[in-house]
Amino acid sequence: MAYVAVSGGEEAIAASLELLSEGLSDPAANVASARIAAALPELIDQVMGESSLYEPSLAALALRQGGGSVEEAVFLLRAFRSTLERPYTSRIIETGNMRVKRRISAAFKDILGGQILGVTRDYSHRLLDFRLDGEEQASDSASPAAPAPVPAVPAPAPAPAVSAPAAEAPQGFPNLPKVAASLRAQGLLTPPPPDDTPPRDITMEPLSFPAGRDVRLQILARGMTQAVMALGYAALRGFGPAHPTVGELRYGTLDVLVDHPFEAGDEEDAYYVGALAVTEVESLFSVEREEQEAASADDTHELSFAIGYGLVYGRAESKAIAMSILDHCLTLGDETFPTQDEEFVLYHVDSIEATGFISHLKLPHYVTFQSKLNSVRRTRHDADVPGAAFAREERTDGSQEASHATAV
Amino acid sequence: MRQLYNFAFFDEGSKREIRRAILKGIAIPGYQVPFASREMPIGRGWGTGGLQITLAIIGPDEVLKVIDQGHDGSVNAVNIKKLIVATTGVEITDETARASLIQSRHRIPEVPLTAEQVLVLQVPTPEPLRDIEPRESETRRLHAEADYTGAWLGLFEQVVRYGNMTTGADHPVLVNGRYVMAPSPIPRFDNHKLNNAAHLTLLGAGREKKIYAVPPWTSVVSLDFEDYPFAPETFEGIRCRVCGAQGVYFDELTDPDTGEVFHQCNDTSYCQTRREAQTRREAQT
């Protein structure tokens, strides 16, 4: 009798890895990472966002190695990220200083600094552009001096209230005032209590509940794009109702500055280490005022606005809006709605955790299933189930000797 | 952008944090210590909790054994071993008695472990109360107040409904008379191996970000009732078809030729050692 069990694991893994590498070494499929980064910038944004690692070239490499699977690319980058030391902390980044390339408000037609439509597909027609294929063949075969490519999508129709130039400023518009600032100035926006506690780093400290807003925003920002969107949509639709008005959505770049480790000075003396492209959303929700300053004579309540906040890497606008919805939902915290239950939302949007636990079901469970099998058989009365007869006898004679007792 | 990995994958700061969680776990037997679980190069849910413990405590002179489903050669055990060896270069063994550090999923070896050995168990679901209470904030409160009514009621309902407790693997245990603990899905057959054991057992749940421990010589009692005592899986009258062993945990297999069901030791290293001894005896006679 051959020794069966599950031997041969080592050989099987080696053979499987060989098949995997053969698949990827197909010369036709071997696209340079730089081309992936250039051709699929929004895929790169998604991977960087879910990995919480801002490095387009590594994201491209991970996508290439993972055969285009976002799940796999995020996995590779997260595992890499967890080996990196964190020698510096950047200076606080004020998002008001964003160099804005796109900025819209759904709340006000006319906003200080103007609406900037910038680059968006929102007003494009979703028609497959078959010319793109031809374009690629042309650029593949043509000399470097190939003709300028045909526009991929029809020029966007102007939005109703565009007051700034539609063309994207190459460097973006700096120092545009926040839309929320005007509401704040009018006293219509309840400011959250001031809190200068340094934010916790969710990758360095255990998650505990109730989670602070810092923790919540970090988890949502690196949550699975589609999971954050699905839960945000559920809230919007009615499960934990939260229908916001997008006060402001911005896309642009933020400078990252690091102080000299020994001679921390002001911003002028700090080192510029690069810029992050981000999408930021401030959604407006009307809420009941908690502390009413003026006692009203008729005992009615007053309303005010609160902000739901979303900030994600790159151009991930739907995710940023969904994040702002969930941020507000979790502030409300009515656990009868799953979207307002922080454990439900925060535990389940992480890519590594969801894919890891689901995929582990493919592992052998021979021992635990044998144990389950043993328990199931002991509850059966049919004589033809092996083990059932033994269990029945056991019950009638009342024996409780440990090694013979019916299954627990 | 080339990156060389540190000994045992982690940077030293990460190792230190994990070791602190381990020490706290040992100090409070059965208590789940939250830790900042790292993303690992293997799937989260594929043993990353055990792997993080192993990598945090492993030294260059360690002799390592990794088993999955009782088997050293099982795909996931091989995979984990490859990663540990690639980042540490430690010696690997299949032989339970030779190992100084044993990482396992779903089994405790048949050969009793000694005070010189550390057992690391991979845990998918560290919370024994999760079935009755989905919220972590709530289960932490229940543990703090030692309110284990739910755990008892769960077992009681099984008795009412099925005539006996029907837990499979992961039957809850009371550790040191204080904390109810999920022993990781080891079969009930292995629960007693944790009780007053000579060795240290460390349990790691990567996805759920918890580390807990059973120090040596600590009482570990499986939850049961006076009239419905805890009982392990029974393999009455069953012998290993390969080595003839009795009273061990078995894999149930089907002969591809005859369709007949037969059994083999689940702990392959134990089976192998027995067969080698038998071969030696036969050679001597």
CA distance B214 to B194: 8
pLDDT at A28: 62
Residues from chain A that touch B250, judged by Cβ atoms under 8 A, are 370
Rounded to the nearest 5 degrees, what angle is found at the Cα of A100, between the Cα atoms of A274 and A349? 75
Both B285 and B181 in a single domain?
Answer: no
Q: Pick from B44, B263, B275 the residue to mutate for testing the A interface (most A CBs within 10 Å).
A: B44
Angle at A177 between CA A173 and CA A178, to 5 degrees: 115
Please, are residues B63 and B93 in contact by the beta-carbon 8 Å criterion?
yes
Residues 6+ apart with CB under 8 A from A34: A57, A60
Flag residues of chain B having pLDDT under 70: 1-4
Least Cα distance to A391 among B236, B244, B101, B135 occurs for B236
In this structure, the answer to whether residues B107 and B185 fall within a common structural domain is yes
Peptide linkage before A210 cis (omega within 30 of 0):
yes
B 72-111 → A contacts, CB under 8 A: 73-79, 82, 105-107
Same domain, B108 and B179: yes
Say if CB A363 and CB A13 are below 8 A apart.
no
User: Which residue is closest to A390 within chain B, CA to CA?
Assistant: B236
Q: Decide if B237 touches A, using CB distance below 8 A.
A: no
* Shared domain check, B202 and B284: no
The answer to whether B68 contacts A364, with C-beta atoms less than 8 Å apart, is: yes
| Residue matched to tokens 């009982």 | B231
Q: How many CB pairs under 8 A join A and B?
A: 212
Spatial CB neighbours of A187, under 8 Å, sequence gap ≥ 6? none
- pLDDT on residue A204: 86
SS3 B42: coil
The H or E element spanning position A176 is none
Domain identity same for B214 and B251: no
Query: Quick one: B183 and B277 in the same domain?
Result: no
Find the CB nearest B10 among A83, A204, A341: A83
Q: Between A3, A7, A83, which is nearest B5 by CB?
A: A83
Residues sharing a CB contact under 8 Å with residue B70, sequence separation 6 or more, in sequence order: A367, B106, B107, B109, B249, B251, B265, B266, B267, B268
Q: A370 in contact with B at a CB cutoff of 8 Å? A: yes
Chain A residues 373-392 within an 8 A CB cutoff of chain B: 373-376, 378-379, 386, 390
Residues of A in contact with B8 (CB under 8 A): none
User: Is residue B155, in this structure, part of any structural domain at all?
Assistant: no
| Structural domain contains residue B22 | yes
∠ CA A110-A112-A115, nearest 5°, is: 55
> pLDDT value at position A207?
86
Q: In terms of domains, do B17 and B68 share one?
A: yes
Interchain proximity B164–A386, CB inside 8 Å: no
Q: Which residues of A touch B170 (CB under 8 A)?
A: 368
Q: What angle do CA B92, B96, B100 make, to 5 degrees?
A: 60
Q: Is A34 an interface residue toward B (CB < 8 Å)?
A: no
- The residue ranges of DSSP E strands in B130-240, in sequence order, are 173-175, 179-181, 200-205, 210-214, 220-222
B4 vs A110: CA distance, rounded Å? 54
Contact B201, B121 (CB under 8 A): yes
Q: B152: distance to nearest CA of chain A, Å? A: 13
Q: Which of B187, B219, B251 is the last residue of a domain?
A: B219
Contact A375 B167 (CB under 8 A): yes
Q: Does a structural domain hold residue B266?
A: yes
- Give the CA angle between residues A353, A311, A45 to the nearest 5°: 65
Residue A258's beta-bridge partner residues? A90, A271
Distance of CA B1 to the CA centre of its chain: 38
Residue B74's contacts (CB-CB under 8 Å, 6 or more residues apart) are A6, A9, A364, B67, B68
For CA atoms A76, A80, A86, A87, the dihedral sign is negative
Instruction: Provide the pLDDT for residue B182.
Output: 96
What's the CATH code of the domain at B112?
3.40.50.11310
Query: Last residue of some domain: B219, B251, B272?
Result: B219
pLDDT at position A150 is: 41
- Cα dihedral sign for A263, A269, A270, A274? negative
Domain boundary among B219, B254, B277: B219
Query: Does residue B152 lie within any of the structural domains?
Result: no
Among B125, B126, B82, B86, which residue's Cα sits nearest to residue B103? B82
Q: Which residue is closest to A367 within chain B, CA to CA?
A: B69
What is the C-alpha to C-alpha distance for residues A392 and A2, in angstroms, rounded to an integer? 35
Query: Are A196 and A314 a contacting pair, CB within 8 Å?
Result: no
- Name the pTM for this structure: 0.79
Please name the amino acid found at residue A147.
Answer: P
Q: Does A5 touch chain B (CB under 8 A)?
A: yes
Looking at the structure, tell me whether residues B122 and B238 fall in a common domain: no
Range of the domain at B273: 234-285
The pLDDT value given to residue A386? 57
Q: Quick check: is B168 in a domain?
A: no
Q: Which of A224, A247, A244 is nearest to A236 (CA)?
A: A244
* Amino acid A407: pLDDT: 35
- Asked if the Cβ–Cβ distance from A360 to B124 is below 8 Å, we say yes
In a domain, B7, yes or no: no
Structure tokens at B279: 């071969």
Determine, yes or no, domain membership for B201: yes
Tokens 């929320």, residue located: A180
Do B84 and B55 contact (CB within 8 A), yes or no?
Answer: yes
Task: Report, in this order, helix, strand and coil percent for chain A, each rounded to 5.
Answer: 40, 15, 45
- Please name the residue that has the structure tokens 């009371």: B174
For residue A169, the model assigns a pLDDT of 55
Asked if B257 has any chain A CB less than 8 Å from its own CB, the reply is no
Q: Which residue has the tokens 């919805």?
A: A325
| Tokens linked to B215 | 């120090």
Is B242's Cβ below 8 Å from some Cβ in A?
A: yes
Look at residue A137 in the predicted model and tell me its pLDDT: 58
Asked whether the ipTM of the predicted complex exceeds the cut of 0.85, the reply is: no
Q: Are A327 and A216 in contact (CB under 8 A)?
A: yes
Q: Specify whether B215 is located in the same domain as B270.
A: no
* Tokens of residue B262, six digits: 């037969």
Q: Which residues of B are catalytic?
A: 30, 240, 243, 265, 271
For residue A2, what pLDDT is reported?
A: 39
* C-alpha torsion angle, residues A285, A286, A289, A294 (rounded to 10): 130
Cα angle A234, A237, A241; round to 5: 85
Residues B171 and B88 sit within 8 Å (Cβ to Cβ): no
pLDDT (tens place) for every residue of chain A, 408 residues total:
334 444 667 888 888 888 887 766 555 666 788 888 888 999 999 999 999 999 999 999 999 988 899 999 999 999 999 888 888 889 999 999 999 999 999 988 888 888 898 888 888 888 888 888 876 655 555 444 444 444 444 444 444 444 444 444 568 888 899 999 888 888 888 877 888 888 899 988 888 889 999 999 999 999 999 999 999 999 988 887 788 999 999 999 999 999 988 887 888 889 999 999 999 999 999 888 766 555 555 667 788 899 999 999 999 999 999 999 999 999 999 889 999 999 999 999 999 999 999 999 998 888 889 998 888 888 887 656 555 444 444 444 444 443 333 333
**What's the one-letter identity of residue A113?**
G
In a domain, B133, yes or no: no
* Domain identity same for B182 and B285: no
Residue whose structure tokens are 């709340």:
A107
Q: For chain B, how many structural domains are there in total? A: 2
- Rounded CA separation B107/B25 (Å): 21
* Phi/psi of residue A281, nearest 5 degrees: -130, 135
Residue of chain B whose Cα is closest to the Cα of A356: B44
B254 and B204 housed in the same domain:
no
B266 and B194 in one domain? no
Sign of CA dihedral A96, A100, A103, A109: positive
